[in-house]
Structure 1
Amino acid sequence: MKIKRGFIYLADLNPKIGTEPGKVRPVLVLQTNLLNNIHPSTIVCPLTTKVEKKANYLLVHSWLNSYKAARGTEGRKYP
């Protein structure tokens, strides 16, 4: 599979680390395509529909035809 920056993919986020989700979630790819083509892992940001009032989010419209929220502090590298 060719991973592209700015695209949304479903990813298995196991194992769970801290308060991060440990299940299959939509993720937004943050890492540059130059690294995506040659590196075994990718930096992504999990997306959610559960938004807290006091947190800062970036709203994105996904191919799932719904709005998701990405919290910038939850970016993580996945192999």
Structure 2
Amino acid sequence: MQMGFKRGDVHLVNFNPSKGTEAGKIRPALIVQCNDLNDVGHPSTLVLPLTTQVHANAQPLRFNLAAREALNKSSDVMIDQARAIDNRRITSEPLTSLSEGEMETIERYMKIILGFEQ
């Protein structure tokens, strides 16, 4: 499936095969790559996988999303599982989109995990 992807959208992604502690199977993932790259058809996309194994108070490793639109279950965005994927791994139209405030929180958590902010 090839389409225009947008930062803040959640799509189904095929993460198989996986190794060790990597998230596997077909699961939702949040696009965090900038729209400048998305808009020019860059062949890969930076995403954060989601899991339905929700953990309370797991920030900054996780960010909770309530079920909404086509995201049928409450899920955690796994901030510590960021990865670049080939666009052919994206297998759906957007399931939902995050708000600007939600994306700002995820960006803050990513900065902490990557050591850009203390």
Query: Is this a same-fold pair by TM over 0.5?
Result: yes
SS in 2 for 1:28: strand
Q: Deviations over 1:4-30 (max 9, x none)?
A: 100000011122133112210000101
1:60 aligns to 2:65 (yes or no): yes
RMSD: 1.8
User: Could you say if the C-alpha distance between residues 68 and 52 of structure 1 is closer, same or farther in structure 2, counting changes exceeding 3 Å?
Assistant: closer
Indicate the percent of aligned positions where both proteins have the same amino acid. Answer: 42
The one-letter code of the counterpart of 1:45 is L
Q: Which has the larger radius of gyration?
A: 2
Gaps of 5+ in 2: 87-118
Q: How many pairs were matched up?
A: 79
TM-score between both structures, scaled by the size of structure 1: 0.83
1:12 aligns to 2:19 (yes or no): no
Task: Could you list the structure 1 runs, at least 4 aligned residues long, displaced by more than 6 angstroms after superposition.
Answer: none
How far has the Cα of 1:52 moved from its partner?
4.0
SS in 1 for 2:47: strand
